[in-house]
Structure 1
């Protein structure tokens, strides 16, 4: 009997080779340090969602033992999940970070924005975001967007130039060969930076498991009162749901992504641990936004249209 020849693993071929998570982490850390060296007033968008949590974890690693040299910015729609806001405030206090909050509700109260008929405030974040960037003179804004989330985000570079109105023009994308990032921008312009651009949802969860990162409990299976709308399970709230014809029921669910309660759907799931979620995602054929974000279903180019207006 002939013994089958087994192909050597990457580690046996090169004992110094990085794992795929180590390689992604090293790339992200490099991006954070590159921005710290190139820009004067960077800021990290932090919502308390899993991607922004991983991004902050990487920033803490990049500059340890020194503190993170950037402030945090959260665009609060007023319809955020209470569990996520509580987590946000706890993390900010724990690490002694500076948090700026741009409130959609304040802009509505001031007459600068109007409520949408559907109650969704996610598209209303653009004006408060651009106002905060201008008033604080931020020249680089970190976001947790990943290329696997949505096709418009797949088009964007790690360093994404925005014009003086905060708008994104795909034709102004710059080449990023050999991990060389061009941060040049004219007065009034700024750069959006995506340290997780090359990560996938599965990578994020594997990294959360490896690093032992705490996430809001909303990401894990729990019983919750929800109602069905447009093929998604939504949480009832003051934002306008449910309608008289929509029945509230208690289900075992979890959230794959976290945003405005009015457009972020839950999925039926019994995944209560990181290992369970990793197995669930590995078997899924839908992206997290494709499965759970109503604001991306408004049109084929919904995300790209918002990005051209200044959205993240």
Structure 2
């Protein structure tokens, strides 16, 4: 007869220092009666070096460490078996040994998604550990998390470095570190323009003189062209001059794109832009009659 061979995973609460391992004994041919009520104290468990297990064979959380252990009935256990089988005289060679194998538990390490605003210091990077044995802490694993270098707005991969551990195998995932663009409280104001009808032709190189002025110095305004502005509801005469009237002037998609390119670390939106206006007044025209003459009594 011999204890039943057992394989368990590290962290099984039945194999803590304070637990009864629940070891069973099996009779090879069924002729030996195995008494009920055998406990861990009826067995001797030795490590791979033949030493009876001691506190050093358990982790700080009280779990039996990974390894292969030999299990045998001790004197107490053999006495209990003999007392259950009084018609037999059992000798030492009637008792066999078996193994108790503790295999590593698997833990999944996942860096925690994190981020910052461009220009700020990196926060401490963290991780989760799924599958730890009861009482073990992720801090005890010695995991370090780092991210791909870079300081421009965008996303960067986080990876975990995990030291080897006798009691665990590891799967590692990646996390995402996001660097966000700054936000600005600045407003961008388009100037008001007043012109006289006919003073500027639509499409002229100089345009109507529209400019964009930020309310604070954290915004850079690039060189903008007339094509970056839109005159809302504009109508033109046959000579391609903006007709008399008042019009709202806005920064169009091309202008916003140019502004964003000039400020790559700041979020630029159309809400930041205050529209301007262009007012076209009538041109003054002087009518002068031509001088004329004729002879007396002619038409």
Which bracket does the TM-score occupy, shorter chain normalised? under 0.3
Could you tell me the TM-score, scaled by structure 2's length?
A: 0.21
More helix by share: 1
More strand by share: 2
In terms of Rg, which structure is larger? 2
